[in-house]
Amino acid sequence: MSALNAPFVGRQGGRRAMATPALVVDLDALERNIAVMAAFARAAGLKLRPHAKTHKSVEIARRQIAAGAVGVCCAKLGEAEALAAGGIEGILITSPVVGPFGVERLAALAGRTPGLMAAVDHPDAVDALAASGAKLTLVVDIDPGIHRTGVADAVAALALAQRIAAAPNLTFAGVQFYCGMQQHIEDFILRREAIEERTSYLTDLVRQLTEAGLAPEIVTGGGTGTHRIDAALGAFTELQVGSYVFMDRQYNDCDLTGGGPPPFETSLMVDSRVISASHPFLVTVDAGFKAFATDGGPPPILAGAAEGATYRFMGDEQGCVIPPAGEAPPRLGEIVTFAAPHCDPTVNLYDAYHLVRGDTLVDIWPIEARGRSA
Residues within window 142-161 making contact with its own copies, judged by CB under 8 A:
143, 146-152, 156
Please list every residue from 177 through 236 that binds its own copies, using CB under 8 A.
180
Cα separation, 96 vs 271, whole angstroms:
36
Cα separation, 56 vs 74, whole angstroms:
8
Residues 17-56: x where in contact with its own copies by CB under 8 A, - otherwise, as a string: xxxxxx------------------------------x---
DSSP category for residue 295: T
Q: Does 100 bind its own copies (CB under 8 A)?
A: yes
Backbone dihedral region for residue 147 (phi beyond 0: left; psi -120 to 50: alpha; all else: beta): left
Contact 48, 64 (CB under 8 A): yes
Of 36 and 98, CB closest to its own copies: 98
**DSSP states of 32-94:** HHHHHHHHHHHHHT-EE--BTTTT--HHHHHHHHHTT-S-EEESSHHHHHHHHHTT--SEEE-
- Please, what is the minimum distance in Å from the beta carbon of residue 320 to its own copies? 7
Stretch in the footprint of its own copies (CB under 8 A) among 216-224, 226-234, 286-294, 356-364: 286-294
Q: Which helix (H) or strand (E) holds 230?
A: helix 227-233
Of 10, 86, 115, 145, the residue at the interface with its own copies (CB under 8 A) is 10
Of 10 and 300, CB closest to its own copies: 10
Contact 352, 4 (CB under 8 A): yes
Of 179, 195, 287, 355, the residue at the interface with its own copies (CB under 8 A) is 287
Of 67 and 270, CB closest to its own copies: 270
Q: Does 316 bind its own copies (CB under 8 A)?
A: yes
Of 65, 218, 229, 274, the residue at the interface with its own copies (CB under 8 A) is 274
Please list every residue from 63 through 92 that binds its own copies, using CB under 8 A.
75-76, 78, 81-82, 85
Of 252 and 276, CB closest to its own copies: 276
Of 169, 333, 358, 362, the residue at the interface with its own copies (CB under 8 A) is 333
Cα separation, 90 vs 93, whole angstroms:
10
Angle in degrees, CA 72, 76, 79, rounded to 5: 65
Of 28, 44, 115, 122, the residue at the interface with its own copies (CB under 8 A) is 122
Q: Are strands 360-366 and 319-322 parallel, antiparallel or unpaired?
A: unpaired
